[in-house]
């Protein structure tokens, strides 16, 4: 992930930060349909989180088996609207 390189952190550290910091107040949008060319079943949810002083947006997908998968992390290119902050 290019964003991890820009943040100068490893994926495992990013996951630890996300796990320890994210809350319902970081919600941006969702549920949304997976928009990949070959969609994967499950709704996509978008959250925002500041990591290493950089505002980032994160996508998670809840899978039909009940699992939640972190699918992306990117620098926020535009201002994000946090409806619960």
Whole-number mean pLDDT of the chain? 89
Q: What is the DSSP letter of 10?
A: -
What residues make up the domain containing 34? 2-75
User: What does the CA dihedral 22, 25, 26, 27 come to, rounded to 10 degrees?
Assistant: 120
Q: Give the pLDDT score at 36.
A: 81
Q: How many CA atoms lie within 13 A of 17 on its CB side?
A: 18
Return the sign of the alpha-carbon dihedral for residues 64, 31, 48, 82.
Answer: negative
The predicted-structure confidence for 16-34, as pLDDT tens digits, reads as follows: 889 999 999 999 999 999 8
Q: How many domains does the chain have?
A: 1
Residues 41-60: tens digit of each pLDDT: 899 999 999 988 889 999 99
Q: Indicate whether 62 belongs to any domain.
A: yes
Give residue 1's pLDDT: 58
**Higher-confidence residue: 82 or 5?**
82
What are the C-alpha distances in Å from 9 to residues 15, 43, 47? 10, 28, 19
């Amino acid at each position: 992930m290019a964003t991890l390189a820009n943040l100068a952190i490893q994926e495992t550290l990013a996951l630890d930060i996300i796990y320890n910091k994210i809350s319902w107040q970081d919600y941006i949008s969702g549920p949304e349909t997976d928009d990949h060319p070959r969609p994967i079943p499950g709704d996509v949810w978008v959250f925002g989180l500041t990591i290493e002083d950089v505002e980032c947006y994160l996508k998670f997908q809840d899978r039909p088996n009940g699992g939640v998968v972190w699918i992306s992390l990117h620098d926020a290119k535009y201002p994000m609207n946090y409806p619960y902050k």
